[in-house]
Amino acid sequence: MLSVNNIEVVYHDVVFVLKGVSLSVPAGKVVALLGPNGAGKTTLLKMMTGALAPDTGEVKLGTTLQMVTLDQRRDTLKPEWSLQDALTGGVGDLVEVNGQSRHVMSYMKDFLFAPEQARTVVSALSGGERGRLLLAMALAKPSNLLILDEPTNDLDLETLDLLQEMLANYPGTALIVSHDRDFLDRVATSILVFEGDGNWIEYAGGYNDMLAQRK
């Protein structure tokens, strides 16, 4: 679906943040980017999705790429929306999911909402409920590439379990930026780790798999 080949970012003739990074990301893969603050995770993520162009190297994106980003800042949630309006766009009582129409009440149940919450406004939802609503909104959109930047921040245990289940069943590819070691152990198929001086190395498996390989 996407691949990067020998990409670099150069600043004042000095390689900066990324040095010769290459990676192939086929469908069905969950790739986590791991590194300290300032390592360039967001820069690399933007290049892998075509939002930024590298100074050297090549990024190839699939011709049928449909990307959805989970809004961690929750800016897309309007406080006056009802839960049903947020999922249907304020029109009718059906949600389009993977090309199929579903009744909003049925779809809500997938994300642990009770039918009587359909008219509850966003401002009255708990933090965990807002997290689940964002997941429901993101996964209702047609996509084959899911971008998650620190997805576990401020999520309750129910929502974390739900997110793990959704990633396991997601038919496309997911790119994740996270420091949550337990979460990465549960969901990642590989981890791209910052090794210093602009170098990134991919390790198969989750967080503990990566530690074992680095030894």
The whole-number pLDDT of residue 119 equals 93
What pLDDT was estimated at residue 182? 93
pTM of the model: 0.83
Residues 6+ apart with CB under 8 A from 175: 25, 31, 32, 33, 45, 48, 49, 145, 146, 147, 148
Q: Which residues of the chain have pLDDT under 70?
A: 1, 11-17, 71-73
Amino acid 13: pLDDT: 63
| pLDDT tens, position by position, 134-182 | 889 888 888 888 988 888 877 788 888 888 888 888 888 899 998 899 9
List Cα–Cα distances, 175 to 3, 98, 153, in angstroms: 12, 20, 16
pLDDT (0 to 100) of residue 183: 92
Alpha-carbon span 72 to 150, nearest angstrom:
7
DSSP-assigned letter for residue 212: H
Tokens of 80: 């006056």
